[in-house]
Amino acid sequence: MTMTNTTKLTLDDITDLRAYEREREDFRAHIIALKKRRRVHVGPIVSLVFENRDTIRFQIQEMARVEKLFSDEAIEGELRAYNPLIPEPGSLSATLFIELTSEPALREWLPRLVGVETMVDLCIGSGTDEIVMRCTPDPDHEKQLTRDEITAAVHYVRWDLTPEQIDAFATSPVRVAVRHPEYDHDSELSAEAHAELVADLRS
């Protein structure tokens, strides 16, 4: 089977800790460059990283490294948690970060941005032909948000596109917009990010 950026990971894809240490420096450099192309800054404190198979494999490998996960059962638990973040063909998946570095800023913004994970749009094209697609939050992550008065600093969101929408995405400028009452900003995809996401959609 040919591996694509949307193929789900298996146990065979996750190397043991000694083998991972040997590849980690090169793989980490690859992921840093990849995430740079796939990161979209939307306004002053929100960014999205569009995930693919490599970024999620890196997340699992790093989790296993830090937490010293040796058993197949432990790795399978990580695969169950993170594999849903690898988008299917025709879909996009992103991790949304609220980038705050100080305690006062966290106390100010996290209560103000409740529900932000439901208010992120892909805006394809412009003018009267613009297609606006609202994101879908990851349901498993949503279940963990147990407080209604404050949000988390990290969310997982996705979009599912029809073949016609994929064609429009591939041939039009695309913006990511956060349309929250407390935070209304948008940003156009760079040429690099646009090319990466078209490849995901057409995998």
SS3 readout for the chain: CCCCCCCCCCHHHCCCHHHHHHHHHHHHHHHHHHHHHHEEEECCCEEEEECCHHHHHHHHHHHHHHHCCCCHHHHHHHHHHHHHHCCCCCEEEEEEEECCCCHHHHHHHHHHCCCHHHCEEEEECCHHHCEEEECEECHHHHHCCCCCCCCCCEEEEEEECCHHHHHHHHHCCEEEEEEECCEEEEEECCHHHHHHHHHHHCC
pLDDT in tens, the chain (203 residues): 456 676 899 999 999 999 999 999 999 999 999 999 999 999 999 999 999 999 999 999 999 999 999 899 999 999 999 999 999 999 999 999 999 999 999 999 999 999 999 999 999 999 999 999 999 998 776 666 656 789 999 999 999 999 999 999 999 999 999 999 999 999 999 999 999 999 999 98
Domain span at residue 21 reads: 11-201
Give domain status of residue 20, yes or no.
Answer: yes
Give domain status of residue 4, yes or no.
Answer: no
Is residue 177 within 8 Å of 186, Cβ to Cβ? yes
**Comparing C-alpha atoms, which of 52, 144, 127, 47 is closest to residue 91?**
52
Give domain status of residue 27, yes or no.
Answer: yes
Number of domains into which the chain is organized:
1
Kindly compute the dihedral angle of the four CA atoms of residues 138, 150, 116, 194, in this order, to the nearest 10 degrees.
-70
- Report the alpha-carbon distance of residue 4 to residue 28 in Å, rounded: 19
Give domain status of residue 2, yes or no.
Answer: no
Q: Tell me, what's the pLDDT at 148? A: 78
Q: Tell me, what's the pLDDT at 1? A: 46
Give domain status of residue 146, yes or no.
Answer: yes
Give domain status of residue 3, yes or no.
Answer: no
Give domain status of residue 137, yes or no.
Answer: yes
